[in-house]
Structure formats: C-alpha cells, structure tokens
Structure 1
Amino acid sequence: MRISFTKMHGLGNDFIMLDRRETALPAMTPPVAKALADRTTGIGCDQLIVLEPCDSADFRMRIFNSDGGEVEACGNAARAVALLHGAPARVQTDGGVIALEPTTDGARVDMGEPRFDWTDIPLAYAMDTLAMPVGWEMLENPSAVNVGNPHVIFFVDDIDAVPLDILGPQIENDPLFPERINVNVASIVNREAIRLRVWERGVGLTRACGTGACATAVVAMKRGLVDRKVTVTLPGGDLSIEWTEADRILMAGPATESFRGSFEWDQFA
C-alpha cells in the first residue's frame, strides 16, 4: 500500500505528517514510526505526526518521537498542523485539547494551562517543583512543569557551556522522572528574552522545542525573572511565548512545508 506524506518543520524541528482524517491508512505502531523516522533508511524526522478523526475536537493529533515512543504534546508540530489544516481548529492530543490557527507568518497555538504539582510532572516523590533540591554535575536547583508533556528547566549563565549531549540523557532517564523528562538549559537575556537549548525526550538534541520554550518561559515568569510575554531564542530561531492572566500559554512562531512524497507501507511495517 502506497502512503502519501507531507514533510514539515518548525524552526528546524522536523516532522512526517500522515493524514488519516478522510483516507483510511494502516494503524501506526512504534516500530513503524521508528523505521520511518530513521534518517538513513527511512524518510527521517524528529517526530511523526498522525492526524485522525475525533469526536471530542475537530480532529486528533498523535505524536511519535524518533525512537518510536508515543508522547503527549509537541508545540512545533502543532504549528505545522495549523499550517497544514489551513484554518482555526481545536485539536485533541494525549496532553489535552489545544487550539491552533494559521497566521500570515506561521501559526499561533493556545497550549493550555501549565501544571506545577509534583504528581503532574510526574516526579518519583514529593518536592517543590519551582526550586527542586537536586542536581547533576554543573546543573542544579531546576524547576519542573508539565505543559502537555514534562519538562525540567535549569537556568545557567551560558547555555553553550553545558555539555547537554552528555547530561541530557542522564537527566532524561533519571529515576526521579518515572516517565522520563525533557531537559532544558536556559539563560535570561533580559526581561523580554530567553536563550534556550533542549534535550528532547526520545529524540535528543533538537534545533527547537515548542513545549520546551513554553515550559521555560512560564517557569522564568513564575520565578519573577521575566515579564509575561517573552521571545525564546533556540538554535533554530525565535518563538513568542505569552502566559495570560487567564492562565493560558500562547505560543506563536513559524512553520514550513518542506516537500511531499509517498512510501510503500510494507517496506517499513
């Protein structure tokens, strides 16, 4: 069976998009997602996105990381979905319902409300998630938040001095995080700007992470380090993040279609 796909990216965080809303496709599985995501023998991507019919929203977005694991949320993919859909929509994810809309220069997404309780991250045991009394070598006293998926955030003077390729996988798989964790290192530039690098759970170092930008921004706001609207600069580019008085996280930034193609399902199943 030959399957059509669209390749997209948000600030270099790239996706294979499969649309099952009106066309019957085989059910996605972690092994197939991992095979398609392989950059040598597959199409190659950070995440594979499957759009499906849904009764509780306009449609459902399923998200598979490049290791084949299914995850709850992806902010950059949400902007790509807005561009692909071409109209405002309410979208069901495993992290909750999000609202998205295309804009003239990308897309805007209402990512919902952040959750700070230790059980929502989740952590292995109770602690203050705003000032966690833990550390890994040079990274100490982080904050944690769930913005549809779980993140831990470290504020440092120089994000480029952190060996995130080494510390990222150690922290991601630490027993403190029973569902693993996305790892963010951030530097405050001023009250309206943050620099950020992300080790993404199940992916690794990434050029951009939309949920990481949201998580880092709201934690910096909760700590009083920045104002309620900031620009977060990642290796792939900038995202605008606002935490409204109604407790909603609004993310805006670019999304791009790279190309379209097709593949034989049996070659990857």
Structure 2
Amino acid sequence: MNIKFYKYQGAGNDFILIDHREASLKNIDTKAVAQLCDRRFGIGADGLMFLLNSDGYDFEMVYHNADGNVGSMCGNGGRCIVAFAKHLGIFDTETNFLAVDGPHYAKISAEGNWVELQMIDVDTINNDEEAFVLNTGSPHYVKEVEGLETMDVYTEGYNIRNNETYKTNGINVNFVEKKPDHFFVRTFERGVEDETYACGTGVTAVAMAMAKKQNQIGQVVTPIVVLGGNMEINFSYDGQKFTDVFLCGPAEKVFEGEINL
C-alpha cells in the first residue's frame, strides 16, 4: 500500500501528516504507525497525525505517538496540522478543528509559518514535592532546575516518568530554568520515551506553573526557548484559572513523499 505523507516540524518537534479524509483509519494499524515513525526503518518522527473530515469543524486531528498508540493532545502537532490544513486549502487564516481534548481555534500568519493555537482552560495544578503536576491536554510534571543545558534529561525524565506514581499512565516530564528574559525548557515525552526538541503542551504547562509560582495575575505573556527554537505562551490568569490560552510558534513543512507499507 502506497501512502502519501507530509513531514512537518514545529520548533523541532517533527510529525508525519496524512490526509485521511477519503480513507478509513482501520487501514493503518499501530504497528504500521510505529514503523512510519521509526527514524532508522521509516520516515522518522515524534508522532503521526491523520487529518479527517468532521461535521461542524474544518477538520479533525487524530494523533498517534511514535510508539504507534493513539495519544493525548499534542500542542505542536496541533500547530503543524493547522499549517498542513492551510496547505491543503481547507481554510485561509482562521480555523476551528476537533482534537482528542475537544474543539480548538487557531490562526496562522499570512506566510503560513507562525501558528497561534488555543489550548484548553486549566483550573487545577497539584504539587509533587517541589514540582507541579497539571493537565494541558496531556499530563505534565514541571520541575524548576539549574544547569539545564548540561543536565541528563533522558535519565532524569525516564526515572520520573517510570516511578511508582506515574509509571501506569505515564507523564511528560519538563525541566525549566529561569533566564533573564525567558524560560529554557527541556522535555522527556511519554509515548516517544525520549527527550524531544519541543513539546507544546509541555511549554504551556511550564508557563502556567511558573505563573502560579510567581503569582502573575492578569494577562501573561511567557517567552520560552526549547532545543528546537523559540515559542510563546499567552493566557489570562485570575489566580485560580487559566483562560484564553494560546500556544504560539513556528510550524513548517519539511518535505513530502510516498512510502510503501
């Protein structure tokens, strides 16, 4: 079976995208998805997304982790599929689409390489000792550290993701270091089971956790630097709830092609 695919990346978080509006998801199973995402024997990606038709929305996003399993919400994946949908001519500058965590609104720059994606509201942040735990469409653990540039993120993240508290359902582990004019973030992602160059729901969780810690009430704009580039998170925070949450950053097509499964 020949499959037409597109490769996109958002701040170094890379994805395979497939226009599946005229096909059935049952044609591609978990094993095949994992094979496509394999960086040595497939195309290589942090995840794979199918774009489907959806009544009442411009399209639907179905996201699979690199291990082949259906995943929770992926923020950078959401931004990339918005850029992909614009490429397909589904919308012009603004869109409403459906994802696993519900409806999302997004807008894209005229050049088509900067996407602002509205994320879900969040009203609960818990603590695990000094770390913060919250769900921004996917579950996240946020820990503030020093010396993040040289930290062994894989080992530290793997150990937290697989400890007694989180090993059953898994959790994404974010380490953050405060810089003079931004936060530097590195993330170990469940499903990929490795550090990725960026994580959209992760940097959103970091921005919220740091706003709560610093009691930043009102409109908050948080510049974030990840291994794959620069991002920005905007939201309103009243001390209890985060609303009007936008994940902003680049989303660019890398290449397209066909592969036989």
Looking at structure 1, the residues matched to 169 and 226 of structure 2 have their Cα atoms a distance apart, in angstroms, of 25
- The aligned amino acid for 2:101 is G
Q: Secondary structure at the match of 1:221?
A: helix
| Alignment-derived partner of residue 209 in structure 2 | 219
| Alignment-derived partner of residue 258 in structure 1 | 254
Equivalent residues in 2 for 1:188-207, closer than 5 Å: 188-190=178-180, 193-203=182-192, 204-207=194-197
Q: Provide closer, same or farther for how the CA distance between residues 23 and 31 of structure 1 changes in structure 2, counting only shifts above 3 A.
A: closer
| Alignment-derived partner of residue 156 in structure 2 | 167
Q: Provide closer, same or farther for how the CA distance between residues 260 and 26 of structure 1 changes in structure 2, counting only shifts above 3 A.
A: farther
- Cα offset, 1:22, TM superposition: 3.6
Q: Secondary structure at the match of 1:212?
A: helix
| Alignment-derived partner of residue 109 in structure 1 | 117
Looking at structure 2, the residues matched to 164 and 188 of structure 1 have their Cα atoms a distance apart, in angstroms, of 16
Match of 2:145 among 131, 135, 156: 156
Q: Provide closer, same or farther for how the CA distance between residues 4 and 165 of structure 1 changes in structure 2, counting only shifts above 3 A.
A: same
- Long gaps (5+) in structure 1: 118-128, 134-140
Looking at structure 2, the residues matched to 99 and 22 of structure 1 have their Cα atoms a distance apart, in angstroms, of 24
Looking at structure 2, the residues matched to 35 and 150 of structure 1 have their Cα atoms a distance apart, in angstroms, of 25
- Asked whether the equivalents of residues 15 and 46 of structure 1 are also in contact (C-alpha less than 8 Å), the reply is yes
The alignment status of 1:183 with 2:169, answered yes or no, reads no
- Cα offset, 1:26, TM superposition: 5.0
Equivalent residues in 2 for 1:23-102, closer than 5 Å: 23=23, 26-55=26-55, 57-86=57-86, 87=91, 88-102=94-108
- Asked whether the equivalents of residues 8 and 252 of structure 2 are also in contact (C-alpha less than 8 Å), the reply is yes
Looking at structure 2, the residues matched to 56 and 221 of structure 1 have their Cα atoms a distance apart, in angstroms, of 35
- The aligned amino acid for 2:252 is T
Looking at structure 2, the residues matched to 225 and 254 of structure 1 have their Cα atoms a distance apart, in angstroms, of 28
- Asked whether the equivalents of residues 233 and 239 of structure 1 are also in contact (C-alpha less than 8 Å), the reply is yes
Deviations 1:66-95 (A, max 9, x none): 111211111111111111111322222212
| Alignment-derived partner of residue 224 in structure 2 | 232
Q: Percent of pairs identical after alignment?
A: 29
| Alignment-derived partner of residue 14 in structure 2 | 14
Looking at structure 1, the residues matched to 17 and 158 of structure 2 have their Cα atoms a distance apart, in angstroms, of 27
Q: Secondary structure at the match of 2:124?
A: coil
- Asked whether the equivalents of residues 134 and 205 of structure 2 are also in contact (C-alpha less than 8 Å), the reply is yes
Question: How many residues end up aligned between the 2 structures?
Answer: 245
- Asked whether the equivalents of residues 231 and 248 of structure 2 are also in contact (C-alpha less than 8 Å), the reply is yes
- Cα offset, 1:174, TM superposition: 2.1
Match of 1:147 among 136, 142, 158: 136
TM-score by length of 1: 0.85
Looking at structure 2, the residues matched to 33 and 19 of structure 1 have their Cα atoms a distance apart, in angstroms, of 14
TM-score by length of 2: 0.87
More deviation, 85-94/4-13: 85-94
Q: Provide closer, same or farther for how the CA distance between residues 201 and 115 of structure 1 changes in structure 2, counting only shifts above 3 A.
A: farther
- Cα offset, 1:158, TM superposition: 2.0
Looking at structure 2, the residues matched to 25 and 162 of structure 1 have their Cα atoms a distance apart, in angstroms, of 40
Q: Provide closer, same or farther for how the CA distance between residues 43 and 56 of structure 1 changes in structure 2, counting only shifts above 3 A.
A: same
Structure 1 runs of 4+ with >3 Å offset:
22-28
Looking at structure 1, the residues matched to 104 and 28 of structure 2 have their Cα atoms a distance apart, in angstroms, of 22
- Long gaps (5+) in structure 2: none
Looking at structure 2, the residues matched to 6 and 36 of structure 1 have their Cα atoms a distance apart, in angstroms, of 12
